[in-house]
Amino acid sequence: MGDSLVLEHRAFPLRPAPDPTTSFQGTYREQAWARCGQMAEPDGIAFNPWPHLDHYPNWSLPGLEAAKCAALQGIDAFDRLHPRLYRAFFTEGRNIADPNEVVKIADEAGLDVERFVADFRAGAGRAGVIKDYTEAVEEGVRSIPTVVFPETGRALVGLVDLSQYRAAIEEASR
C-alpha cells in the first residue's frame, strides 16, 4: 500500500490501576506469553518467561504513559521508545510498571530524558491514554491487540496470523 497505510497506535490499559494480586506463573498470562513466543520465534523475536516469580508488574499505565510522552517529542522518539518498552518487558524481564525503570528505558532509546522526565512526572501522557481507552471501550474493544480498519470496519482481535492482516489490508485498499 506504500504511503497510504497509516498505523495509529492507541493505548488500552489492561490494568489501569495497580493490582497487587497480579501474578504470572500458572496463569493465562504465562500461557499467552508462551504462545506469543512460539509465533514470534520465526521472526527472531524472543518472549522470555517472566523471570521474577515473586512479583509481576501490577499495572500497565506507566508504560502506556511513557509512549505518549515519547510522542510529545515526535514520531521518531515514539518509534524508538515503543518497541524498546516491549523488548524490555517481554524479552529482558524489566518492570515497565516501575516509573524509574521506564525513565531508564527512555534514556536507552535516546529520548531527551530531561524533557521526558518532566512530561512523565507531570502526567502529560495520562490524558492521551485515558482518551484512547475511553474511545476503545465505546467502540466495544475489550482486549489487545485489537486492530481496526476504518475503511471497512473490520477488526482483528487477539493474536492472529499474518495472513489475516494481509487480507484486511488488501480489503481496505480497494
Long-range contacts made by residues 167-173, C-beta under 8 angstroms, separation at least 24? Answer: 169/1, 169/5, 173/1, 173/4
Indicate the residue type of 168: A
Rounded to 10°, the helix 61-71/113-121 angle is 130
- Name the phi and psi angles at 40, rounded to 5: -85, -20
Give the dihedral sign, CA 92/98/102/103: negative
- Identify any residues that bridge with 146 across adjacent strands, giving them in sequence order: 157
pLDDT of residue 123: 95
| 10-residue stretch averages of pLDDT, the chain, 174 residues long | 75 83 86 88 89 86 96 97 95 94 98 98 95 92 90 90 93 89
d(CA 168, CA 14): 25
Residues 6+ apart with CB under 8 A from 84: 105, 108, 109
pLDDT of residue 16: 74
